[in-house]
A and B are shown apart, each in its own frame.
Chain A
Amino acid sequence: MTPLFIFFNSIPYPILLAFLIFLLLILLPFVPAIRELVRPKDSLALFIKMDYTKNPRYFDRAFKDILEKSLEKVGYEPGLKKVQLSKNELVDISDSKVVPDNEIVGNILYVRKKFTSGKRVYLNKEIFAGESAIIGEKNVLRAVASDGNITISAGTRVIRWVGTEGSVFVGSDCVLGKLCSCSGLLEIGKACVFNALYGKPINTYKMPDKEVVSVAPKMKNVDDAAWYVSENHFSIPPGAVINNDIISKRNLTLKKDCTVAGSLKSYGNIVLDEGVTVKGNLFAEGDIIIGGKSTVTGNIFSQSYIRIAGNVRVGETGTIKSVIGKKGIELTGNTVIFGYVLTEGTGRVL
């Protein structure tokens, strides 16, 4: 009989059992740990997409590239072709294509010249049109790419993206999917919904000047006459000219016709009254509200909502600037944005 055996034999069985259970529970988590260490299933470095750069023109260009590479293998003769994309797909190749009203199209369309669809057409797969694409009213389409112009008629719903080397003209009441981008002009009608837009520039629908929304109150406030600083608010009086950046820990308002040559940052909201000019960027933790006839030459970035009234201009000809509102963006008519608009929430053209 070994001393160890004598020792264990002297311990009452319930205590020995409790000790063994305790030991088991302590050691149990180490079993999968040691298994993962000895026979690793997940030991590679976390993946970084090393060649990633932000490119709002990526989707349609990548689609066209992949599609044409696949078609090179099977030829471009008109008709249905089976090609290997991410999975096997049927591609309908044609010189020009007209889809009549109320049709449902289940194949990818590769149209060398002009594509036209009638009313209430369902286009369940991507379309490429070499010269132009005219999408009829109340269509539902997955995605459309083109080397020419794209026209999207009223009431159409895009599931994924629209992209072209030319311009895009969007009618009213459209849903523009995850991204609507072009290398030329992007013109958007009333009551459209979007996540991201890219154009040079982006124009919202034309609206008579008298309908331009202004954020200015009708009654005169004290800060319409003086610089005003309170615990929650900091406002700059009408017509002030400031040549500096402004950083505010509270809400910041620039009254009518102010000019700032610098960037603005606020930990609350930023409100630009009518006719304000900012030669710089706007950054806010809260909402950014831009009154009619204002100009911002730089980027507009909010962790909350952005609301832009009519006759507002963001950026300048030949530049790319961004309007990014995390929770949502609202645009009205006569707005011109040179570059990129993005929201994680819902973007609307009112």
Chain B
Amino acid sequence: MALVILILKIYVCFSALIMIVYTIRHFIFTLNRVAGEQRIYYQDIMDSELPTVSVLVPMHNEEKVARDILNSLLGTSYPGAKLEILPIMLADNPNETLETLENVEIIPIDDHSTDGTKKILAEYAAKYPQVMPVYRQDQKRGKARGLNDAIDMARGDIIVVFDADYIPGKGIIKDLAVCFKDPEVGAVMGRVIPLNTKHSLLTRLLDLERSGGYQVDQQARHNLKLMPQYGGTVGAFRRDIVIDIGGFNPNSLTEDTELTFRLFTLGWKVLYANRAECYEEVPEDWNVRARQIKRWSRGHNRVMFGQMWPLLKSKYLTGREKIDGALLLGVYATSFIFVLAAFCSLALFFLGEMEIFPGILFLIMVITYNAFGNFAPFYQIATASFLDGGAYRIRLLPLFIFTFFFNLWYVFLGFLYAVVDVVTRRKTRWDKTSRYRKTEVTS
């Protein structure tokens, strides 16, 4: 029994240490944005010789949003007209696309749609030669698989990816593509801003969460030369590198995170472009959000199991990058660590062994953590909101207590699923996020 109690106590101390490390991380990032030196991104570079670009838009039953993204992409400007936009649905006649490369290539990827998506894509393809859909019906479904098919047929040096519910602005393609003039950059990530914020409590909290994640977290990592994350949408990467590393892993639920770490461990850099902003639709339904965050946790944790060792032994990364990378990989494992620690604490309580440290020290630690530790993520979100000029939305901060418990549970479940995936080597199935748009935004 004594050994069990010792193990329980050691685990509780370990989990407390992990929480403190992540707290410090929150503070460092936030303080960097408040008072640190800000590195500039390459968006101000004006260059008449930019690389050729193909835009990929994975789509599965996207009739509610397809027109918006296609209209927005057709309205973008790119110096030298070297853009191609490919919605993904495998083309019957691949030669068709070769004739229009000199202009613009938009590749929407229709992945087993059963609604009106195909019809919309056919309509745009007939009207605009730069829209060259890839139709996928016979192959296995999945975002990674669809992207791999489209990358094979795309001819741009740079691949830009948008999810179907996104609404890109006019200059975003150039802002993303210009960073590839830097010979070390393998991928870039832009900023996502929720469009349907005012729908409900959930969408308003997600809006603040996104602000914290991009305006503070990603930008601070860019400033501190750490590891900004490629997020799989509103992002771009070099086509040849992704082909060289064998494309996206079709069994990955977070192919974006996997690409981030594969690039970094091979010596490439991922940049964050805070000004490359793009609207997205966030889940309006708690069930949809639960599935989404569980999928993210499951996929991210699988990436953690596969990429932690290559990250730590990479010869291209600095110590700081490795620490940040490890913390980034472990971010979806913290819920599991925390929940397990809560159960351990309960066990210790009923065993009458809760006194791990001398009473007063323990009290000081608890009070200090409650004063500053729990405050850290709130401080980060409030700072992000301040930087974004959102005055009254900061008032919603106390309501994050609900999403804390909500996220804790579903991220915890995602971790367990990931463990089962790895142990049983089972295949994963892509779970698409629902769309809510009722009217076209760009009409």
Contact = CB atoms under 8 A, between A and B. Distances in A.
Interface in A232-265: 245, 247, 262-263, 265
Contact of B193 (A30, A32, A48, A285): A48
A33 B47 contact: no
A53 B171 contact: yes
Contact of A322 (B46, B170, B193, B391): B46
B42 interface: yes
A42 B390 contact: yes
Interface in B367-399: 388-393, 395-399
Contact of A49 (B47, B169, B395): B169
A51 B398 contact: no
A281 B225 CA distance: 20
A70 interface: no
A37 B398 CA distance: 12
B47 A299 contact: yes
A342 B393 contact: no
Interface in A296-332: 298-299, 301, 303, 318-322, 324, 326
Given A303-B39, A319-B48, A339-B46, A42 B195 contact: no
A29 interface: yes
A43 B393 contact: yes
Contact of A342 (B44, B195, B198): B44
B30 interface: no
A68 interface: no
7 contacts: A36-B393, A43-B198, A45-B195, A46-B193, A56-B46, A263-B181, A321-B48
9 nearest interchain CB pairs?
A42-B392, A53-B171, A43-B198, A245-B183, A320-B48, A36-B395, A29-B398, A41-B392, A50-B169
B382 to A, nearest CB: 12
A48 B398 contact: no
Interface in B153-207: 167, 169-171, 174, 181-184, 193-198, 201, 204, 207
Nearest to A300: B45
Contacts of A45: 193-198, 207, 279
A71 to B, nearest CB: 29
A50 B389 CA distance: 18
B392 A36 contact: yes
A324 B44 contact: yes
Contacts of B196: 45
A301 B389 CA distance: 29
A32 B395 CA distance: 6
B15 to A, nearest CB: 25
Range, interface on chain A: 35 or more
A265 to B, nearest CB: 5
Contact of B40 (A32, A44, A56, A326): A326
Contacts of B395: 32-33, 35-36
Given A37-B399, A52-B170, A52-B171, A44 B183 contact: no
Given A319-B49, A324-B44, A48 B277 contact: yes
Nearest to A338: B48
A14 interface: no
Contacts of B54: none
Nearest to A249: B318
Given A33-B397, A324-B44, A263 B49 contact: no
Interface in A48-66: 48-54, 56
A298 B170 CA distance: 25
Nearest to B388: A46
Contacts of A53: 77, 170-171, 174
Contacts of A339: 46-48
Interface of A: 29-30, 32-33, 35-37, 40-46, 48-54, 56, 198, 245, 247, 262-263, 265, 280-281, 283, 285, 298-299, 301, 303, 318-322, 324, 326, 339-340, 342, 344
A287 to B, nearest CB: 15
Contacts of B201: 37
Given A52-B169, A322-B47, A263 B388 contact: no
B43 interface: yes
B170 A51 contact: yes
Contacts of B184: 247, 265, 283
B211 interface: yes
A46 B211 contact: yes
Nearest to A244: B183
Nearest to B49: A319
A91 to B, nearest CB: 31
Given A42-B393, A303-B39, A321 B47 contact: yes
A46 B43 CA distance: 20
Given A32-B395, A283-B182, A299-B47, 16 more contacts: A36-B393, A36-B395, A36-B396, A37-B204, A42-B392, A45-B193, A45-B198, A50-B170, A52-B169, A53-B174, A281-B183, A285-B225, A303-B39, A318-B48, A324-B45, A339-B46
Given A247-B183, A263-B181, A33 B398 contact: yes
Contacts of B49: 319
B233 to A, nearest CB: 15
A29 B267 CA distance: 47
A320 B390 contact: no
B197 A43 contact: yes
A247 B194 CA distance: 37
A43 B204 contact: yes
A281 to B, nearest CB: 5
Contacts of A41: 391-392
B275 to A, nearest CB: 9
Interface in B68-83: 77
Interface string B37-70: 0011011111111000000000000000000000
